[in-house]
Amino acid sequence: MCLTIAKSRVYHGVVLKVISAPELARNLDAILKALEESGTTLIIRHHDQPAALLVRFDAYVAMLATMDYSGWERWIDDVRAAFPTTVFSPPRRPKSLVPAFIDPADIGYAPQLGQVGTSAGRRRVAEELASMGIQLDEQQLGPVYSLVLSLAERKRVLYAEDLKLAVEEALGRATPGRFALNDVQVNAQSGVSASAEVALSDEGTVKSGRASGNGTLDAVFRAIQQVTGVPAELEDFSLAAATQGSDALGEAVVTLSQGSRVVVGRAAALDVVEAAANAYVNALNWLVRPQAAPIVPSPSGGVIQGSAH
């Protein structure tokens, strides 16, 4: 069996159809060479039929950084139309037809009435979390409620997923790592390499750095690595809508490796660049911790403390 590689500037994407391991192994060198030499997308054909769609990972990350979710849906439709015989089922979060929402005023955020945090609102958040099986003591509830109010300031309505992510984010911050993201700024213009500037706290000492890259996220990751000085390989990156609505939180998951050690970091934010940067920093924090038990993705998509396999 023979696979041929064709270049196309039309589509961006990932593997659409699994090719057998022997076939892939026989053609891997040619595929990798073509990807390295070209910034364009590669369509792999099998007996003149499209079998897979590949793109350089840095270009894929750059695409995600500027992608709106309606554009993502349109791209999926375009791919299905171009490759009608392939099996392409991108992961999607289940959404109810009429998602339940929480009015920010019900949790104590009503600035027009002079309310930005109330005892009743705090109790409402605790009750909502309890209904989802999440029990918090008063000490834990404090930072969670503060983060929920911060989300309410930027969102018209809140959903159950927002509260869950607030718990994960707030309680994750309660166990600080070596690095913490203070600020991230990006600059991307057509025809010019994207650049990013980050400011990080390294055990309390603020450091900053700037880097360029193939897309905004690549630039952000390079800038973070420059500031931290921690050598790590980016193994995988994913971005998805973590909550409902047009102002949904973006959930980023970053997988890094260092030798045989693999760690996973995750974060969520309204801004996808901020989410990706925090996920990268969180992964680095796992990487610099002393090795103990294996670090693996948790069922919720985060990490379980320890060292990697």
Q: Could you read off the pLDDT tens digit of each residue along the chain, which spans 309 residues? A: 344 444 443 333 344 334 454 555 566 666 666 656 655 555 556 566 555 555 554 444 444 444 444 444 555 555 555 555 444 444 343 343 344 667 888 888 887 777 778 888 889 899 888 887 788 888 888 888 888 887 787 766 777 767 877 787 677 654 567 898 999 999 877 777 889 999 999 988 999 999 998 888 889 999 999 999 998 988 888 776 555 555 556 678 788 888 877 777 777 777 788 888 988 998 898 888 765 433 333 333 333 333 333
Find the angle CA(179)-CA(180)-CA(182) to the nearest 5 degrees.
Answer: 140
pLDDT at 27: 63
pLDDT at 76: 52
Q: How far apart are CA 29 and CA 123, in angstroms?
A: 60
Phi, psi (rounded to 5 degrees) for 23: -60, -45
How distant, in Å, are the alpha carbons of 66, 74, 76, 241 from that of 70?
12, 6, 10, 11
**Cβ atoms within 10 Å of 278's Cβ, excluding its own:** 23
How distant, in Å, are the alpha carbons of 47, 203, 300 from that of 287?
44, 15, 20
Provide the b/e sequence for 230-258 (b: ≥16 CB within 10 Å). bebebeebbbbbbbbbeebbbbbbbbbbe
pLDDT at 43: 58
Q: What is the pTM of this model?
A: 0.46
26: tokens are: 């026989």
